[in-house]
Structure 1
Amino acid sequence: MQHAKFSFHRDLGGLEVLHNIDKKEDFGRHSHSGYTLALVESGAQKFYRSGGEHVAQQHSIILINAEQVHDCRKASAGPSSYRSLYPTPELFNQLLGSGSAIAPFFQDAVVHDPTLVQLMNATFNVLESENGLLAKQSQLVALLSYLSQKQGNVRLEGKQKSVKARIRTAQQFLLDNLFEEVSLDKLASLVDMSPFYFIRVFKSQTGLTPHAFQIQHRLNHAKALMRCGKSVAHAALTVGFYDQSHFNRHFKKNMGITPSQYSKAC
């Protein structure tokens, strides 16, 4: 039975996300104000784009530029499903630009790239999760930057002034506001960088994305609380994890043991 799940992310520049499950209906020629980035999960899709017909099999990526006329038809006998997101050119410029970048143009209509498939799946999962804004923005930047570098034609530029000092400023701001929701836009603006350039430089300087840096220091603080005899639940809530399972997952990934095991050993 066909089912469509749609979500609208106002805090991510009005990003639209669609999960079309067991798609049966065809769509006539139309266009979107944003790009169409679609991951074919099962079956196959046939579509018109750039004056020609294309077929996208399972585990392939469909790329349609903003305002580009296209259609979409089922091209397999069994169930056919896909997940897609529709970032606008303005969102690309906001995340990738520093005032001079332009939104990319994708020449290829269908792409076969296992790394891109993994990034697409990770992005959909994060967008559907209870993760905070910084995690969602970071994942979206990772996807769009990889896509632009591999498939688009975007020149990345950055300012040369004291990069290390600006990253230290961002680190200190994250530490000073460790238990608060901090957006990628806020951090990038603080150090006068575009979000894309900031996240690349931050990782190159620290070895971690801003979100991973934040999580690491929250976990360090939680461990200190548990060493002082505080309960696992108290430690998780104090450092900003309002979902216990979310806290447990990050803790075990970081330490290899659960918070309860750590607490009992202290």
Structure 2
Amino acid sequence: MTPSTHPIFWRSPDLPYVELRHVVDGREVSYAPHSHKEWSIGAILDGQSEFLCEGRLHQVEKGILVLMNPDAVHACHPCKDSPWSYYMMHLDKHWLASLLKSAGVRPELDWRDSRLDTLLASHFYQDFVSLCRSLMSSQLTSIEKDASLKKYFVRLFEYLDHVVEAEKTLLPPNRLYQVADYLNQHCLEDRSIDLISDEFGFSTGYLVRAFKRHFNMTPHAYRLNRRVQLGQQALKAGQAISEVAQAVGFSDQAHFQRVFKQRVAATPNQYRRSMFTDQKAPLGKV
């Protein structure tokens, strides 16, 4: 039996656009600032936590949904002496954008960020918890799970897009995004931050301060975060942890495991093995 302190991951080869994590006892969990390529939604099942998203600090507790856009830097720390349990779901943004367009919720096929960090709405909260339980159930087919996911997120985004201002205020170009893109594209390189700063016309001190202020992490931490993301993809594909550590730019397996756990709240082995995976009811078969 999986210890209650270990996260349980669910994913299915028939529904590759979704991944679900359930933490039963997360009192010792603390996430360093990190981001995901997917759109993410979580339900607080028990306890209280401070939730930092894009520099905005929230106090969240049971009954609240948290929402995170792709690449939005966020962090979470349980309050002292508080229990801490939650579901966290990650959805491929291209799948979600396609669903919203086909359902007539949005006119465009390109992804557009949602505009809330948290949502306090009991019916959406309860339905999301029920959805998570359904995904982890062995009693439902992949067709049924796929239908439930689509139905829920169509309703959710109809609500989110209605209650939030539709007009998006554009910001002027920011060269820090060029640095972030460089770090994403060259995350496996160990080029010094001094040289990167010079290439983009910044002093090192200014770049580190400005980058941390804007992205809530230093350039070095941002590069590590991207390596962890690549490591997650490789672990999903079944590669050995030692091979993954080397492939994503870590000098040894211990360093990889330490950095990975800080950002995922699970060791690489827990991430790879502590999961439910549907095998009995493939999509398209009853």
Q: Which residue of 1 aligns with 2:68?
A: 64
Residues 1:50 and 1:90: Cα distance change in structure 2 (over 3 Å)? same
Aligned residues: 161
Distance 1:53 1:104, change over 3 A: same
Aligned equivalents of 1:124, 1:89: Cα separation in 2: 18
Change (3 A) 1:27 1:182: closer
List per-residue Cα deviations over 1:118-139 (Å, max 9, x = no partner).
2211211210112112210111
> Aligned-pair distance for 1:21?
1.5
In structure 1, the residue matched to 2:198 is: none
Answering whether residue 121 of structure 2 is matched by residue 118 of structure 1, we say no
Q: How far is the alpha carbon of 1:97 from its aligned partner?
A: 2.3
One-letter code of the match for 2:7? Answer: A
Trace 1:1-266 onto structure 2 (pairs within 5 A): 2-23=5-26, 24-98=28-102, 100-130=108-138, 131-152=140-161, 183=284
List alignment gaps of at least 5 residues for structure 2.
Answer: 167-280
Contact 1:55 1:110 in 2 (8 A): no
Q: Among the aligned pairs, what percent are the same residue?
A: 20
User: Which residue identity lines up with residue 50 of structure 1 in the other structure?
Assistant: E
Equivalent residue of 1:26, what SS?
coil
TM-score normalized with structure 1 length: 0.55
Contact 2:21 2:88 in 1 (8 A): yes
Secondary structure in structure 2 of the residue aligned to 1:85:
strand
Structure 1 stretches of 4+ with a deviation exceeding 3 A read: 98-104, 152-155, 180-183
Q: 1:12 to 1:104 in 2, by over 3 A?
A: farther
Which of 1 and 2 has higher RCO (CA within 8 Å, sep 6+)? 2
The superposition leaves residues 73-113 of structure 1 with CA deviations (integer Å, 9 ceiling, x where unpaired) of: 11252321000100021120232223833434222211101
Amino acid at match of 1:125: R
Query: 1:121, 1:70 → 2: CA distance?
Result: 22
SS of 2:151's equivalent in the other structure is helix
For structure 1, which runs of at least 5 residues remain unmatched after alignment?
156-179, 187-239, 241-266
Change (3 A) 1:122 1:16: same
The answer to whether the 8 Å contact 2:48/2:82 transfers is no
Q: Structure 2 CA distance, aligned partners of 1:6 and 1:54?
A: 26
Q: What SS does structure 1 have at the residue aligned with 2:98?
A: helix
Q: Who wins on radius of gyration, i.e. which is larger? A: 1
Greater per-residue helix proportion: 1
Letter in 1 for 2:19: E
